[in-house]
Amino acid sequence: MPRETDRFVAELKAAVLRAERRLGKRLDRKALARDTSVSKSSVYGYLNGTSLPPSDVLDALLTAIGAPGSELAHLATLRDAADLERQLQRRDVPATPVPHQLPAVAAGFIGRAEQLRDLDVLAQAGAPVAIIDGTAGAGKTTLALRWAHNVVDRFPDGRLHADLRGFALTPPADPAQVLHRFLQDLGMHPTAIPADLEAREARFRTLVADRRLLILLDNAASAEQVTPLLPGTTGSIVIITSRDRMDALVARHGAHRVTVGALPAKDALALLGDRIGERVPAELGAASELVDLCGRLPLALAIVAARATAVPDAALSMLADELRHEGLAALSTQDPGLDLRAVFEWSYARLPDAAAKLFRLLGNHPGTGIGLHACAALTDERQPPRAELTWLTGAHLVAERTVGRFEFHDLLHAYAADLAAQHENERRAATGRLLDHYLDTALLANRYLQPCWTGYIPPVFHHWSQPAITSYDQALAWFSAEFASLRALISYAGHHGFEAHAWRLAWACTVFLRRTGRREDRVAVHRIALAAARRAGDHFAHATILRLLADATARLGEHDNALDLLHTALAEFHSLGHDDGSRQTHLSLARARESAGEHARALEHARLALRLAQRAPDLLAKADGHTSVAAQLSALGEHRDALLHGTRALSLYSRLGHAEGVADVLTHIGASTQELGRHQLAIAAYTRSLDIDRSLGDRYWEAYALDRLADLHALTGAGNTSRTLREEALAILESLWHPDAELVRTKLIPLGRERDSE
């Protein structure tokens, strides 16, 4: 039997013997089972040491035998030590990631041999930046992707990709947000990513200085948007696509330009022939007219080819005649004489009614991509509209970039949005369904990120199909894939009469944003949500989002602002008589005061939160209250009291299966037991916390636990083990660019000056 379990069993048996001496008779095991609401066999197992009683059962058992309070606390500590001992496990530190982010290239690539050669020459000459510019629909992205896929072997350290949305309906991508994702994809922990743009630029350039990366920045709006994303070294290459000439990049950064215009007539005919076969040479004159009507642009040619394939018996001359006579006002592009809208209208008008409706409805989506299940919500069907999507992809009106995910060319998105605006009732109903779907799914995913947290908003689960989210990893992946759309939807909802959706969506994203360290996004979405709640006149929502915004601003170091927001939120919750809102606000105030080093004031709020939690049956609320009190007591040096609260929280979190809570409170238990000289228990606490942090992917807290374990092993004479753990912690903190790395580095003793006495 492990040592800590041995100690617990021996002391429990001694407590039972003392109770029997006091009573003058043997304890009735059957009566104990009844009093503790467990089976008789379980009581025998607990007293014999074959199983460990849960903390609440242990409390009930000791109360039933009349054990004094000091004995109860002592045995609870020993029980937790035994439990910790049984859950030790180590895992390897994850390797530095190599991103592979290039989207797939479209099939049937024709022509552009000169531009491909130019890009090859630039890469071989070590040019750091190449700009592929040209008009809308000319195939700039397709060219960039084809070349990038041809040369991936030259860039062994990874390929980064970002759609900068320079000419889309949605606002252009913020360089700071793109850098946040790049830094995280390259291995930096979210909490170590600095808040301001200049600091992120510096980190990015340092991080990629010794790497050979291919970076594709698609659909850039301007040189100002792109400049912060340049690595500043010659080992990597940046490919930029844009309708803008980017003269500033050429002048200031030595960028080289590769211009993409209309295809030569020969290549345009070849592209059409690749799609529709022998009909091109058989009707060369009509095919040539179709090519000219399309302006020899690949996007328009792909749509026309899809139309020709859909009507294989129609003569190309008939198709050319239709297109010639159905021209509409030119869609806004950099070339005023280019009439792509005629091509779009020509293709749209020939869709089946259901597919045409779906195309219009897709124009309501403010994001950059949409999944199958969101399409089901748009169409108000139980299952995804696969047949309609097949029509749209076949007509090249949408593209399936990855399996089950669909995107527009920005010109087609603008065209679809214009069509949607002509059907107002249909548009508003579809938007409401789309928001319902995203809220349902975000709440479902949030359950797996924080399974014990029911919170304020129950999911509705409408009849549309939902993505398969049944695990933590799937939930995290869904949020990561959909967050750009979620942020766009929160903004849209907040400004177009869907205020309740705006604040609820922001609330549902909170755990994801906190876990992934998206501090600016977190502040931004909660500011939108706060304004929406205020417009809606919803005082509860307003108070809730005030608290969440305060938590977010505190993470940016704006402590005075956070405190002001929290006191306003607390006053609103008090006026509403909402005890749970007040409780959570006191917890936030405790964290804010703690971060300012005001532990005595933090303890006041922690105790108020615990007092409010004791009034309700919510076990998680009680656990959070005990944890907050334990943290402040430990910081104030009151370790025995801190340990009592910590063990209560641990028992509750374990009962609930709340992994993050267990990991959190174990750090406080580890600190207090270390200060009380219980080194083995402290080692067990930090080791279990380490295991959980690794499973959650929280690398900062992984390093924190490793460093504390190194301290403990040094105290117990295991010097070499201490050094190994410290070096592992330092490697993680250095990879995160975390300021704690310097503190850990100073603790390392040069090799050879210590001996391991294990």
pLDDT of residue 615: 86
Band the pLDDT of 332: cuts 50, 70, 90. very low
Identify the CA nearest to 81 among candidates 181, 164, 12.
Answer: 12
- 8 A C-beta contact, residue 629 and residue 645: yes
Strands 405-407 and 214-220 turn out to be unpaired
pLDDT of residue 218: 94
pLDDT of residue 24: 78
Over the stretch 37-57, which tens digit does the pLDDT of each residue have?
A: 766 666 766 776 666 777 667
- The Cα–Cα gap between 745 and 634 comes to 25
Band the pLDDT of 614: cuts 50, 70, 90. very high
Over the stretch 81-90, which tens digit does the pLDDT of each residue have?
A: 666 555 433 3
At what angle are helices 679-696 and 3-23 packed, to 10 degrees?
A: 120
CATH number, domain 113-260: 3.40.50.300
Q: Looking at the predicted structure, is the pLDDT value of residue 337 above 50?
A: no
pLDDT of residue 757: 38
- 8 A C-beta contact, residue 236 and residue 215: yes
Mean pLDDT of the chain: 84
Helices (H) and strands (E) in the chain, counts: 37, 8
Percent of the chain having pLDDT more than 90? 40
If one compares 542 and 451, the residue with the highest pLDDT of the two is: 542
- 8 A C-beta contact, residue 469 and residue 504: no
pLDDT of residue 758: 39
- The Cα–Cα gap between 221 and 16 comes to 76
pLDDT of residue 169: 66
Over the stretch 155-165, which tens digit does the pLDDT of each residue have?
A: 888 999 999 98
If one compares 719 and 332, the residue with the highest pLDDT of the two is: 719
Mean pLDDT for 72-76 is 75
Mean pLDDT for 556-568 is 91
Q: Residue 163: enclosing H or E segment and its boundaries? A: strand 159-163
- 8 A C-beta contact, residue 706 and residue 714: no
Query: Which fold does the domain 353-430 belong to in CATH?
Result: Arc Repressor Mutant, subunit A (1.10.10)
pLDDT of residue 153: 83
Over the stretch 674-725, which tens digit does the pLDDT of each residue have?
A: 999 999 999 999 999 999 988 877 778 899 999 999 999 999 888 889 999 9
Q: Looking at the predicted structure, is the pLDDT value of residue 110 above 80?
A: yes
Mean pLDDT for 570-581 is 95
pLDDT of residue 64: 80
Mean pLDDT for 47-70 is 73
Verdict on whether the full-model pTM lies above 0.85: no
Mean pLDDT for 418-435 is 91
- DSSP 8-state secondary structure symbol assigned to residue 756: B
Q: Looking at the predicted structure, is the pLDDT value of residue 362 above 50?
A: yes
Range with lowest mean pLDDT among 112-116, 252-256, 300-304, 410-414:
410-414
Over the stretch 453-500, which tens digit does the pLDDT of each residue have?
A: 656 666 677 788 889 899 988 999 999 889 989 999 999 999 999 999
Contacts of 137 (CB under 8 A, 6+ apart): 295, 297, 298, 299, 300, 333, 338, 340, 409, 411
Contacts of 271 (CB under 8 A, 6+ apart): 108, 110, 111, 263, 298, 301, 302, 305
Percent of the chain having pLDDT more than 70? 90
Q: Looking at the predicted structure, is the pLDDT value of residue 650 above 90?
A: yes
Over the stretch 302-311, which tens digit does the pLDDT of each residue have?
A: 878 887 887 7
- The Cα–Cα gap between 672 and 18 comes to 29
- Please say whether the structural domain 3-85 has been given the CATH code 1.10.260.40: yes
pLDDT of residue 452: 72
Mean pLDDT for 260-264 is 85
pLDDT of residue 215: 95
Residue spans of beta strands (DSSP E) within 233-348: 237-242, 256-260
Over the stretch 168-193, which tens digit does the pLDDT of each residue have?
A: 767 888 999 899 999 988 888 777 78
Band the pLDDT of 326: cuts 50, 70, 90. low
- The angle subtended at Cα 195 by Cα 192 and Cα 196, nearest 5°, is 130
pLDDT of residue 51: 66
